[in-house]
Amino acid sequence: MKAFNKAKKVVYFNENLYHYRITDTQISSGNRYIHDTITPFNELLRELESFKDKVSDKRRFEEVFMVRAIGVLLWHLDHKYFHKEYKASIFKKRKSIIEIMNKEPYSRALKEVDTTNLSKRAKLAVILFQKNMVLLFVLISRLNSLIRKFKR
């Protein structure tokens, strides 16, 4: 993103120059354990939000930003709270996740995101998180993971 800030010119190519896989459960970014997800993930969102003043279509930027904020919220779960190396009780995990959900920009994204732009998993998360049903989301995620393992 810093490169975009410093660039004198940005050119758009209507072809894929980089390929990554997106599934309903993740973007192929790995799933390593990160003890402090708050610092890097929130910094990423702050840096992304700093582009808002540089774009002409603010409404579209906000739509994209809300989708990214939901994705980053799920990264917190995947890289820490749902990770096998994080040994807290399910109730402590729930409390921590709700604390994150209640902070900006996640709370705003949960209220304003256009769910048509989200994966099935992210849509489900938004619906359940809006009702503070974190444990139900955990249960469904674990069941889905088991089902995928048995299908292999």
Taking residues 78-91, what's their average pLDDT?
Answer: 92
Taking residue 86's Cβ as centre, other Cβ atoms within 10 Å add up to 17
- Exposure string for 5-16, b = 16+ CB within 10 A, e = fewer: eeeeeeeeeeee
Within 38-152, residue ranges assigned H as helices are: 38-49, 58-76, 90-101, 106-112, 120-130, 134-151
Are the CB atoms for 25 and 32 separated by under 8 Å?
no
pLDDT in tens, 106-150: 999 999 999 998 999 999 999 999 999 999 998 998 898 889 888
- The residue among 70 and 10 whose pLDDT is bigger is 70
Least confident residue range of 33-42, 54-63, 75-84: 54-63
Percent of the chain whose pLDDT exceeds 70 = 82
CB 97 within 8 A of CB 134: yes
Angle between helices 90-101 and 58-76 (to 10 degrees): 170
pLDDT score recorded for residue 145: 83
Q: Tell me how many degrees the CA angle 45-47-51 measures, rounded to the nearest 5.
A: 105
Burial of 109 (0-12, 13-18, 19+ CB in 10 A): buried
What does the CA dihedral 104, 120, 75, 10 come to, rounded to 10 degrees? -80
pLDDT of residue 152: 77
67 pLDDT higher than 50: yes
27-53 per-position pLDDT tens digit: 445 788 999 999 999 999 999 998 888
pLDDT for position 98: 96
Number of Cβ within 10 Å of residue 101's Cβ equals 18
